[in-house]
Amino acid sequence: MLQQTQVNTVIPYFQRFCGKFPDIQTLAASDLQDVLKLWEGLGYYARARNFHKAAKAVVDEHRGNVPDDRASFLVLPGVGDYIAAAVLSIAFNKPLAVVDGNVKRVFARLFEMDAPVNQSSSYKLFKATASDLLDVDDPGTFNQAVMELGALICKPAKPDCGICPLSKWCLTLKNQRVDVFPKKNKKAPVPHHLMAVGVIFKGDKVLIVRRPEDKMLGGLWEFPGGRVLAKESAESACTRIIAEKVNLKVAIESKLTRIRHAYTHFKITADIFICTSVSGRVKRNGPTDHQWVSLNKLEQYPFPKSNHKFISKLMKDRM
Ligand code: SF4
């Protein structure tokens, strides 16, 4: 389901995904790395891992049939109230109301609801409102209609009230307070971290490592790197982190580039260094796997977007 991701971004991914995994059995039997490769660039990689695990659970425990009761569906990996309500109402006509960001915005404006939409305790209130209004005979259409209304008409900025089918009941429109709703709590400032990353060459191959599956960006590959400490130079951080994570002593040859990247909860500025392996054998402390690969083989591995921001320069400079 589309949480925090726009439809237009997802369409080409969806088409490639369905082309490669046309049914749940094929997905369940596939390698996680192939799933992550097709998901690459979309972010929220836990969803890919959970979707893969859920497909296995459906095949192994439900004979390939997606369970249509809420209790069994909620047990599947990655499923919470939103996904359960969305899938079960749309696919199985179950009377469950969906609450996402679009739905909260529509109801907050329609009824002048003061509950901040970004506060987790508000969820119950919006859920109760949506459940009261739900068309129990056609819950899937109702849920999709409210979500679409929020996405296309009752937009965050400049809602198209003139063409809104709810305008005659809308309290904020009546009271000329549309721009005051929805209410939100102020967000804490986003932390910013300095990072150092090493592209370590041994001959014409470079070292890549795999992130633990239970961590952020889990299962993806990356060039070894980490946070620069206070009063530490990026170069020192790079050699220190490489020694800590993969047990190699490296010499820094040059700086490849600097990249910036924004994740959901923090931002990074990362200096990327070209290094050569001086001594030591790879012993992993953190990563779950490693490979020495030729540059022309890098495209076979799924990498986070932040690594793609310098891989193209690396290829251009070194191939
Ligand atoms: S009338 Fe305007 S503010 Fe009210 S629900 Fe429709 S689009 Fe949103």
Taken in order 61, 138, 170, 154, is the CA torsion positive or negative? positive
Ligand 1 mean position, distance from CA 87 (Å): 26
CATH 3.90.79.10 fits 192-318, yes or no: yes
Q: State both tokens at 198.
A: 């090493």
Ligand 1 mean position, distance from CA 295 (Å): 52
Per residue in 224-277, pLDDT (tens digit) is 999 999 999 999 999 999 999 999 999 999 999 999 999 989 999 999 999 999
Distance CA(205)–CA(43), nearest Å, equals 27
In this prediction, the residues of the chain whose per-residue pLDDT falls under 70 are 1-5
Q: Is the CB of 37 under 6 A from ligand 1?
A: no
Per-residue pLDDT at 15 = 95
What one-letter code names the amino acid at 163? Answer: I
Ligand 1 mean position, distance from CA 155 (Å): 9
Contact 178, 112 (CB under 8 A): no
Distance CA(241)–CA(92), nearest Å, equals 51
Per-residue pLDDT at 1 = 47
Each domain of the chain, given as residue ranges in start order, spans 1-79, 100-187, 192-318
Distance CA(205)–CA(298), nearest Å, equals 10
Per residue in 4-42, pLDDT (tens digit) is 667 788 899 999 999 999 999 999 999 999 999 999 988
Per-residue pLDDT at 283 = 97
CATH of segment(s) 1-79: 1.10.340.30
Q: State both tokens at 107.
A: 């109801």
Burial annotation 30-61 (CB, 10 A radius, 16+ → b, else e): beeeebbbbbbebbebbbbbbbbbbbbbbbee
Q: Residue with the nearest Cα to atom 4 of ligand 1?
A: 170
Q: Is the CB of 159 under 6 A from ligand 1?
A: yes
Name the phi and psi angles at 244, rounded to 5: -70, -45
Concatenating the DSSP letter of every residue in 139-174 gives: HHHHHHHHHHIIIIIS-SSS--GGG-TTGGG-HHHH
Per-residue pLDDT at 173 = 98
This prediction has a pTM of: 0.80
Distance CA(243)–CA(282), nearest Å, equals 9
Per-residue pLDDT at 5 = 65
Instruction: State which H helix or E strand residue 272 sits in.
Output: strand 267-279
Per-residue pLDDT at 4 = 61
Q: Among 106, 146, 169, name the best residue to mutate to test ligand 1's pocket (greatest count of ligand atoms within 8 A of Cβ).
A: 106
Domain 100-187, CATH among 1.10.1200.10, 1.10.1670.10, 3.30.300.10, 2.160.10.10: 1.10.1670.10
Most distant CA atoms of the chain, gap in Å: 74
